[in-house]
Amino acid sequence: MTKFSQFIEQDRNCLWHPYSSFGSDLPLYPVLSASGVYIKLADGRRLVDGMSSWWSAIHGYNHPKMNHAVSEQLKHMSHIMFGGLTHQPAIDLASKLVEITPESLKTVFFVDSGSVAVEVAIKMAIQYWYAKKQANKQKVLSIRHAYHGDTFAAMSVSDPDNGMHSLFSKALVQQFIADAPECTFEQACLESDLISIQKQLKANHQSIAAVLLEPIVQGAGGMRFYSAEYLTKVRELCNKNNVLLILDEIATGFGRTGKLFACEHANIEPDILCLGKALTGGYMTLAATLTNTDVAQTINQGEPGLFMHGPTFMANPLACSAGLASIEILLDSPWQQKIKKIEQFLKQGLEPCRRLAPVKDVRVLGAIGVVELHKPVDIKSIQPQLVEQGVWIRPFNHLIYLMPPYIINTDELNILIQAIYTVISKIKE
């Protein structure tokens, strides 16, 4: 038995993987190391990374400055409890986040993962209205095709079909789910895009604490890009109906859509903002929930006078030092030009896919390239073909998509694009 297959067998004896069955025979690839935009497999093969480890490794892997920041912090402490204690990495990262996010956001609550950042955002919204003696406002309004994470509150606000609401129906809170806008990023937002959310807000605002949206890009719920005008209109609707606006920028944050934060496309500010994924440049798990002074002070002044959340690993110093280094690397680079160049290259390169019979749509925004097929991808046959082409691309459902590290060059982008074209060409109808 080769080392490679031994690895796989050991894994299948004891490990679960994301959204998979235990011991599944779907393709699995042991990784030895990763550096820059390359992933090195245990059998020596090198793959160009098209995924940034799910939106997160924006500077590629094994980045010298990131490594330096984390190993320096390791000399001081890897972790210390955050109850009653504080440290420089947390202070520095929080100050930096307040500086670079929309003006009104002034406070930072650190958590371990994106899903928990969403839970915290929802709790903040509920405590805000509770403090204002409006304890009825405890529901959230989200939209179809949304994805906000895998924990229970996050599931309850994700797409009811993709989000498996029927499986967990007795355990999930019933939220309000409006239709998603049909307008694309390039199009104007029409009356028809807003009817459903308008109606639900009007009818139910007395029990709604907040509207929750992924700005501009709906990620894992279908990689849909919608018009900035829709966001502007929803901000107005929130004000009019006395509900808070929570934006989930866990996927879109830190430059991915061409703006540092996707809400900048619409020039609006949320009351609460969730960050995660690229926050530490893919080095460590860390997420954050930011809010404005009104929300923070109202929570303080109400009952019970505290915000009711506090994870064991809150503001982990190693993760905070990685976060700070990642933001410095990003802002010190000509990231806007880089994303623009990736966008233009993806637009041009993926366009020919449109003529292939299995393809339904091709769309690109910032450093995100999406090829949508008519039928779901057969991962069992497509994944090995992609690896044979020397790329790491992880299709899901009807989508084959790219969100490469920002450091990728045009030759490497070409390898990713050609691989997608080749595997789709071979799909038999």
Ligand X SMILES: *Cc1c(COP(=O)(O)O)cnc(C)c1O
Q: Which of residues 272-291 bind ligand X (CB under 6 A)?
A: 276-277
Q: Of 251 and 417, which has the nearer Cβ to ligand X? A: 251
Q: Which of residues 238-257 bind ligand X (CB under 6 A)?
A: 248, 250-251
Residue 23's identity, in one-letter code, is G
Q: Of 393 and 427, which has the nearer Cβ to ligand X? A: 393
Residue 372: strand, helix, or coil: strand
Burial 60-74 (b: 16+ CB within 10 A, else e): bbebeebeebbeebe
> Does residue 365 contact residue 257 with C-beta atoms inside 8 Å?
yes
The C-alpha atoms of residue 151 and residue 171 are separated, in whole angstroms, by 11
The C-alpha atoms of residue 235 and residue 215 are separated, in whole angstroms, by 11
Closest CA to 153 of 178, 131, 175, 170: 175
Shortest distance, position 214 Cβ to ligand X, whole Å:
5
Shortest distance, position 3 Cβ to ligand X, whole Å:
31
Shortest distance, position 4 Cβ to ligand X, whole Å:
28
Q: Which of residues 108-137 bind ligand X (CB under 6 A)?
A: 113-115, 118
Shortest distance, position 274 Cβ to ligand X, whole Å:
7
Q: Quick check: 58 binds ligand X (CB under 6 A)?
A: no
Q: Of 149 and 358, which has the nearer Cβ to ligand X? A: 149
Shortest distance, position 252 Cβ to ligand X, whole Å:
7
Q: Which residue is nearest to ligand X (CB)?
A: 114
Q: Which of residues 199-218 bind ligand X (CB under 6 A)?
A: 214
Instruction: Give the tokens for residue 364.
Output: 């690109």
The C-alpha atoms of residue 165 and residue 147 are separated, in whole angstroms, by 12
> Does residue 20 contact residue 383 with C-beta atoms inside 8 Å?
no
Neighbours of 376 (CB within 10 A): 11
Q: Which residues carry out catalysis?
A: 19, 147, 248, 277
Give, to the nearest 10 degrees, the angle between helix 335-350 and helix 410-425. Answer: 30
One of 89, 102, 149, 405 touching ligand X (CB under 6 A): 149
In the sheet with 391-392, reading across from the earlier edge strand, the strands are 31-35, 38-41, 46-49, 391-392
Q: Of 151 and 207, which has the nearer Cβ to ligand X? A: 151
Q: Of 172 and 417, which has the nearer Cβ to ligand X? A: 172
Q: Cα dihedral sign for 201, 204, 206, 207?
A: negative
Count of residues near ligand X by CB under 6 A: 15
Shortest distance, position 254 Cβ to ligand X, whole Å:
12
DSSP code of residue 47: E
Q: Of 114 and 255, which has the nearer Cβ to ligand X? A: 114
Which residues contact ligand X by CB under 6 A? 113-115, 118, 147-149, 214, 219-220, 248, 250-251, 276-277
